């Protein structure tokens, strides 16, 4: 049994709608339904009467609702107590989940801005792929989410429940080692790809469709979708990679990588839950609203 199953059930008990709860939990409706069913299988009883609209709780569902609310309340209190004792040696703490590449290129400088504005701060960071980062924010384990944004890829978060602010600007650039790439008979260059469906891979697909994008053919796919791995392959002369400029700015300045074609602008967005409030988090949020810098070519 997983805690998120209980949190799913509590959401469903509130909305009485699979579609609305799936949206608020940032999962597909089919995945949400499977998790509710898994909870019922684990408990050995039906919690919902699915023959009505909106759905209603069964007698066992109403009984379990009280247990679920108490379990989540106690676990939340325990987690807050443990973190308060272990985090930061008395410093205010901010917890952040962010894309791997942003943790390397953007987050250290951004935390420096927070420290300069608010004084010493402790941080706890979860670097992961986009879907895990969204889940970490929605399930309440982290205060903030850092991600890239482009209008071509909607972020599956309700803007009223999860407001956002632009905290930086970057671009996605097609880069390659300056020598060694040999075009094929059609004049195309080898392309280093992200795994299918990955967030940066979807951004790269939009960029690759631009009028000024280099003609390419796939030669390598990185299954874990980490931009850092594609950067290493590009530096090794294996092909073109679409990478955040902030991640490869030092290599571009040093001449180890060359930009091919026009770059695609991206925002760096910071998300939070409107339901999570504490004074220091609100101060961080206020500082984050100030004049977002462009980190794409920072030293």
Average pLDDT of the segment spanning 216-234: 85
| Residue corresponding to tokens 């953007």 | 106
Q: Per-residue pLDDT tens for 17-44?
A: 898 888 888 888 888 999 999 999 899 8
The residues near 269 (Cβ < 8 Å, ≥ 6 apart) are: 146, 147, 148, 149, 155, 164, 165, 166, 167
> How high does pLDDT run on average in the chain?
87
Q: Per-residue pLDDT tens for 231-261?
A: 999 999 999 999 999 999 999 999 999 999 8
**CATH homologous superfamily for the domain 89-169+267-288:** Periplasmic binding protein-like II (3.40.190.10)
Q: Per-residue pLDDT tens for 117-167?
A: 999 888 889 898 888 899 889 877 789 999 999 999 988 888 998 999 999
The residues near 56 (Cβ < 8 Å, ≥ 6 apart) are: 16, 48, 49
How sure is the predictor about 1, in pLDDT bands with cuts at 50, 70 and 90?
A: confident
When the candidates are 3.30.420.40, 3.40.720.10, 3.30.70.260, 3.40.190.10, the CATH number that belongs to 170-266 is 3.40.190.10
Q: Per-residue pLDDT tens for 50-105?
A: 888 888 999 999 999 988 888 887 787 676 656 555 555 578 888 999 999 999 88
pLDDT reading at 176 higher than 90? yes
How sure is the predictor about 171, in pLDDT bands with cuts at 50, 70 and 90?
A: very high
The residues spanned by each domain of the chain are 3-85, 89-169+267-288, 170-266
- The pLDDT score that the predictor gives to residue 222 is 81
Please report, for residues 5, 146, 182, 244, 277, the alpha-carbon distance to residue 297 in angstroms, rounded to integers and kept in the order given. Answer: 43, 19, 28, 10, 34
pLDDT reading at 288 higher than 90? no
- The pLDDT score that the predictor gives to residue 206 is 93
Fold agreement (89-169+267-288, 170-266)? yes
CATH number assigned to the domain covering 3-85: 1.10.10.10
Q: Are 1 and 41 in contact (CB under 8 A)?
A: no
- The pLDDT score that the predictor gives to residue 241 is 94
């Amino acid at each position: 049994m997983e805690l998120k199953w209980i949190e799913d059930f509590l959401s469903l008990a509130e909305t009485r709608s699979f579609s609305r709860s799936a949206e608020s939990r940032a999962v597909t409706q089919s995945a949400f339904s499977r998790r509710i069913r898994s909870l019922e299988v684990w408990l050995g009883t039906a919690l919902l009467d699915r023959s009505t609209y909106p759905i209603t709780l069964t007698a066992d569902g109403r009984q379990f609702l009280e247990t679920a609310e108490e379990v989540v309340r106690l676990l939340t209190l325990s987690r807050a107590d443990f973190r308060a004792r272990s985090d930061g040696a008395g410093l205010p703490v901010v917890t952040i989940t962010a894309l791997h590449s942003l943790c390397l290129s953007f987050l250290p400088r951004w935390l420096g801005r927070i420290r300069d504005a608010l004084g010493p701060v402790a941080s706890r960071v979860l670097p992961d792929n986009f879907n895990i980062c969204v889940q970490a924010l929605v399930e309440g384990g982290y205060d903030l989410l850092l991600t890239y944004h482009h209008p071509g890829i909607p972020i599956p978060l309700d803007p009223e429940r999860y407001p956002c602010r632009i905290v930086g600007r970057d671009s996605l650039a097609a880069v390659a080692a300056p020598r060694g790439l040999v075009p094929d008979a059609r004049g195309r260059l080898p392309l280093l790809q992200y795994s299918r469906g990955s967030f940066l891979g979807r951004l790269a697909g939009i960029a690759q469709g631009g009028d000024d994008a280099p003609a390419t053919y796939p030669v390598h796919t990185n299954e874990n979708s980490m931009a850092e791995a594609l950067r290493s392959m590009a530096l090794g002369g294996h092909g073109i990679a679409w990478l955040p400029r902030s991640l490869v700015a030092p290599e571009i300045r040093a001449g180890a990588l060359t930009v091919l074609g026009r770059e695609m602008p991206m925002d760096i967005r910071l998300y939070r839950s409107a339901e999570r409030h504490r004074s220091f988090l609100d101060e961080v949020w206020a500082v984050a609203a100030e004049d977002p810098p462009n980190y794409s070519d920072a030293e």
